[in-house]
């Protein structure tokens, strides 16, 4: 019961933006699926937009949410006296936000599979592995946001880095595609394409490196005094 | 206003994360654009020995991605007073709300633009020395004042006022998406503000005031093939927002940026008045 209370509290702490933005993305997808053709968008284009929303929009939401975790709590002294560690509080809040975003992403991909749009997406893998199209980049950008936020102790700095990386990988996608080493780390390999048979290795590399980033953030988040004393927004 | 400007400037410029984030992102840009950045030329045939062209290319390379860093680092400045609970104390000072807003806006924007300007003018000095072209410094100032400053004034106003109207996290997401959609994607891909008179990343001043011409003519221009200008893009929506570049249109773009900045700040002020009463 106590833990249920904690989770519901964190849901409220997450704020309306974190809770409303992912369903807004789902609505956008529903709108495009229903009216894309009538708006004059060609079928291939619409399919590409739908994948872009899933593969780039979902990670951006989760990444920014992770990056803005630090510096939101007041009454630092009170937090430090609690029996629950501050890391657990932060991760619970992150779990609520990212979990909700992931749930919405699942709805979107189910919608795309049911309506047949998924089959039109050239690079998208089918079956369960296809879900890595959004899961891998989401976890990678979330881990990056968490690490930068923990290291720099500033939400502004962390969101700036997450946004920069997100834009950079979209703007310079060709750079990632041309280089065999960088290709493995490209977050948006489904949308912008990758070499044949390299899609799954790319997704798995992203998952593995996301784990590394999160592992690096772990000890930093453990020092509650340091994290709580970060730059106030 | 002067006091607010001074303090806001100092508070922002002394933030270690400002320098860390700019340093990291600038390093990534230099590494990525290795050759174009070293030569200050984009595409074959551009006369890199022409200081005006080189300075325009230098500004272009920075304007691609650095404004996102600039905006994110500004986004928490206006709402900060409320979060720290110092609004009441500041209200008790003789400075009015409007002059405090202007002081804060100019102070934080100026401080956040300092690393940007250092990167830009640093490259200009390096160019002036390696090419033996001291006039590049003059061109650098001219290009910076007419192209970068109006754009940064508008982006700064947007980044400061945005988080007042919506939750900061939502604003960050929308801001990044706006920069991508409204400034960077090719206009033929979907209806976008990119390359229009309303986009802070437009190149109207480069084409209209400085006579910039790219080496290779892009295939999608509407104008006659004997000369190339900047403006409408064939098969793109919203072309009415993309007049053909010229001196008047370049000046109009500067005016539009300033008007947009003032309008966004006025909205922020109106919003504050409404929530105060």
Q: How far apart (Å, rounded) are the C-alpha atoms in residues B233 and B225?
A: 14
pLDDT of residue B120: 94
Cβ-Cβ contacts under 8 Å for B243 (sequence gap 6 or more):
B197, B231, B232, B249, B252
Angle of CA points A167, A171, A177, to nearest 5°: 115
- Decide if B155 contacts B201 (C-beta within 8 A): no
10 Å CB burial of residue B258 (0-12, 13-18, 19+) is: middle
B216-261 pLDDT tens trace: 555 555 554 445 668 788 777 788 888 888 889 999 999 999 999 9
Residues in chain A closer than 8 A to B184 (CB atoms): 167, 171
Q: Within 13 A of A56's CA, how many CA atoms are on the CB side? A: 26
Label residue A182 by pLDDT band (50, 70, 90).
confident
Q: Which of B24, B32, B72 sits opposite A172 (nearest CB)?
A: B32
Higher pLDDT, B215 or B170: B170
Q: How far apart (Å, rounded) are the C-alpha atoms in residues B69 and A229?
A: 23
Mean model confidence pLDDT for chain B: 86
Q: How far apart (Å, rounded) are the C-alpha atoms in residues B103 and B98?
A: 9
- Across the range B177-190, mean pLDDT stands at 87
Residues in chain B closer than 8 A to A68 (CB atoms): 168-169, 172
- Across the range A189-206, mean pLDDT stands at 87
- Across the range B69-91, mean pLDDT stands at 86
Residues in chain A closer than 8 A to B83 (CB atoms): 232-233
pLDDT of residue B81: 82
A-chain residue closest to B82, CA distance: A233
A104 close contact with B: CB closer than 8 A: no
The structure tokens 């700019």 sit at B22
Label residue B105 by pLDDT band (50, 70, 90).
very high
pLDDT of residue B240: 85
Sign (positive or negative) of CA dihedral A62, A65, A67, A70: negative
Residue B221 backbone phi and psi in degrees, to 5: -85, 150
Smallest CA-to-CA distance from A187 within A128, A146, A177 is with A177
pLDDT at residue A167 is higher than 90 = yes
The residues that bridge with A91 in the sheet, in sequence order, are none
For residue A119, give both structure tokens. Answer: 């089959």
A156 and B73 within 8 Å at the Cβ level: the answer is: yes
Q: How far apart (Å, rounded) are the C-alpha atoms in residues B69 and B155?
A: 11
Smallest CA-to-CA distance from B45 within B226, B220, B214 is with B214
pLDDT of residue B228: 62
Percent of chain A whose predicted confidence (pLDDT) is above 90? 32
**How near does any CA of chain B get to the CA of A89, in Å?**
19
pLDDT at residue B45 is higher than 80 = no
- Across the range A104-113, mean pLDDT stands at 90
pLDDT at residue A132 is higher than 60 = yes
- Decide if A202 contacts A189 (C-beta within 8 A): yes
Q: Where are the domains of chain A?
A: 2-228
Structure ipTM: 0.89
B33 close contact with A: CB closer than 8 A: no
A133-163 pLDDT tens trace: 899 999 999 999 999 999 988 889 999 999 9
Q: Which of A156, A164, A175 sits opposite B75 (nearest CB)?
A: A156
Label residue A2 by pLDDT band (50, 70, 90).
low
Between chain A and chain B, how many beta carbons pairs sit less than 8 Å apart?
Answer: 92
Higher pLDDT, A231 or B40: B40
Smallest CA-to-CA distance from B51 within B113, B111, B129 is with B129
A35-63 pLDDT tens trace: 777 766 677 778 888 888 899 999 999 99
Residue B90 three-state SS: helix
A-chain residue closest to B21, CA distance: A157
Percent of chain A whose predicted confidence (pLDDT) is above 70? 94
Percent of chain B whose predicted confidence (pLDDT) is above 90? 40
Label residue B34 by pLDDT band (50, 70, 90).
confident
Cβ-Cβ contacts under 8 Å for B220 (sequence gap 6 or more):
B188, B233, B234, B235, B236
pLDDT of residue A172: 87
A109 close contact with B: CB closer than 8 A: no
B-chain residue closest to A19, CA distance: B170
A156 and B68 within 8 Å at the Cβ level: the answer is: no
Residues in chain A closer than 8 A to B15 (CB atoms): 231
The structure tokens 């998924």 sit at A118
Higher pLDDT, A80 or B55: B55
B111-132 pLDDT tens trace: 999 999 999 999 999 999 988 8
pLDDT at residue A232 is higher than 90 = no
pLDDT of residue B92: 85
Q: Which of B20, B80, B172 sits opposite A163 (nearest CB)?
A: B172
Residues in chain B closer than 8 A to A65 (CB atoms): 169
Q: Where are the domains of chain B?
A: 2-276
The residues that bridge with B233 in the sheet, in sequence order, are B221
Q: Please identify among residues 168-197 of chain B the ones whose CB lies closer than 8 Å to any CB of chain A.
A: 168-170, 172-173, 175-177, 179-180, 184, 190
Smallest CA-to-CA distance from A82 within A163, A22, A175, A9 is with A9
A100 close contact with B: CB closer than 8 A: no
pLDDT of residue B220: 56
**DSSP secondary structure of A62-120:** HHHHHHT-TT----HHHHHHSSS-HHHHHHHHHHHHHHHHHHHHHHHHHHHHHHTHHHH
Residue A8: how many other CB atoms lie within 10 Å: 11
B185-223 pLDDT tens trace: 888 877 888 888 999 988 888 888 888 876 655 555 555
pLDDT at residue A85 is higher than 90 = no
């Amino acid at each position: 019961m106590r833990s249920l209370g904690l989770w519901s509290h964190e849901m409220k702490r997450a704020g309306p933006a974190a809770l409303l933005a992912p369903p807004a993305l789902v609505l956008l997808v529903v709108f495009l699926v229903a009216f894309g053709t009538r708006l004059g968008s060609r079928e291939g284009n619409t399919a590409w937009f739908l994948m872009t929303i899933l593969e780039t929009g979902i990670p951006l939401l989760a990444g920014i949410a992770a990056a803005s975790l630090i510096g939101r709590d007041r009454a630092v002294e009170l937090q430090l006296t609690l029996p629950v560690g501050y890391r657990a509080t932060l991760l619970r809040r992150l779990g609520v936000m990212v979990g909700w975003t992931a749930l919405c992403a699942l709805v979107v991909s189910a919608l795309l599979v049911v309506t047949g749009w998924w089959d039109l997406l050239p690079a998208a893998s089918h079956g369960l592995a296809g879900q890595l199209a959004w899961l891998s980049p989401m976890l990678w950008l979330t881990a990056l946001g968490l690490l930068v936020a923990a290291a720099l102790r500033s939400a502004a700095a962390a969101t700036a880095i997450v946004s920069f990386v997100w834009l950079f990988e979209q703007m310079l996608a060709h750079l990632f595609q041309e280089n065999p080493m960088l290709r493995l780390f490209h977050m948006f390999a489904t949308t912008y394409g990758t070499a044949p048979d390299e899609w799954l290795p790319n997704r798995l590399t992203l998952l593995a490196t996301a784990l590394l980033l999160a592992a690096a953030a772990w000890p930093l988040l453990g020092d509650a005094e340091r994290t709580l004393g970060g730059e106030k927004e | 206003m002067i006091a607010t400007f001074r303090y806001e400037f100092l508070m922002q410029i002394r933030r270690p994360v400002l320098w860390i984030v700019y340093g990291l992102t600038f390093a990534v840009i230099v590494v990525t654009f290795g050759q174009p950045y070293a030569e200050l030329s984009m595409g074959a045939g551009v006369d890199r020995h022409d200081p005006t062209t080189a300075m325009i290319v230098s500004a272009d390379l920075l304007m691609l991605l650095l404004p996102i860093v600039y905006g994110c680092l500004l986004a928490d400045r206006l709402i900060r007073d409320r979060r720290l609970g110092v609004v009441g104390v500041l209200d008790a000072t003789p400075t009015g709300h409007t002059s405090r807003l202007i002081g804060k806006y100019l102070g934080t924007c100026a401080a956040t633009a300092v690393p940007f300007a250092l990167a830009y003018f640093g490259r200009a000095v390096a160019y002036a020395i390696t090419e033996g072209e001291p006039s590049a410094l003059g061109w650098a100032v001219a290009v910076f004042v007419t192209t970068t400053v109006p754009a940064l004034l508008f982006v700064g106003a947007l980044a400061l006022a945005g988080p007042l109207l919506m939750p900061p996290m939502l604003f960050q997401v929308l801001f990044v998406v706006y920069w991508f959609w409204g400034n960077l994607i090719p206009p033929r891909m979907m209806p976008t503000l990119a390359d229009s008179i309303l986009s802070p990343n437009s190149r109207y001043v480069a084409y209209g005031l400085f006579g910039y011409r790219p080496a290779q003519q892009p295939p999608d221009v509407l104008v006659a093939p004997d000369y190339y200008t900047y403006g409408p893009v064939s098969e793109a929506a919203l072309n009415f927002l993309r007049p053909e570049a010229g001196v008047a249109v370049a000046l109009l773009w500067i005016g539009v940026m300033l008007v947009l900045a003032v309008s966004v700040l006025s909205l922020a002020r109106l919003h504050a008045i409404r929530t105060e009463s």
